[in-house]
Amino acid sequence: MYEVLVEAEASVLQCEITDLVDEQSKTGAWSSDWDAHGYRELEFRVVSGQWLDPDGTPHDLGMNGCAEVVDRYAEFIEEELWAPCPADSMKRWQILSALFPKHK
């Protein structure tokens, strides 16, 4: 499970990668440009999501809210899912902890 922060919507989505293909380029292959250059495909589904109101209270997005955010930011979400390196993860956690402090 991966968390993707969509700052423009003050939302955090919990995503699951359902299919992943990362074919490296094959310089000697000329049967297609995909073989010669390689290609990447990623499919995901959003399991849940939250958004923050102006007071900082987290709320459940619901499936319709998640679907709306995904419609607007699908390419951004996919880019975020491709890049889970340790430095990015640490930055992401710092942003998430600032946006979603523990509620009492």
Q: pLDDT of the chain along its 104 residues, tens only?
A: 888 989 888 899 999 988 888 777 776 666 665 566 777 788 899 999 999 888 878 899 999 999 999 999 999 999 999 876 444 555 555 565 566 555 43
Query: What are the beta bridge partners of residue 51?
Result: 11, 59
pTM passes above 0.85: no
pLDDT (0 to 100) of residue 34: 55
Pseudo-torsion of CA 10, 68, 3, 18, nearest 10°?
-170
- Please count the residues of the chain: 104
Where are the domains positioned within the chain? Answer: 2-99
Provide the token pair at 72.
């607007």
pLDDT at 104: 37
Distance (Å, whole) CA 51 – CA 7: 10
User: Tokens 């340790």 belong to which residue?
Assistant: 86
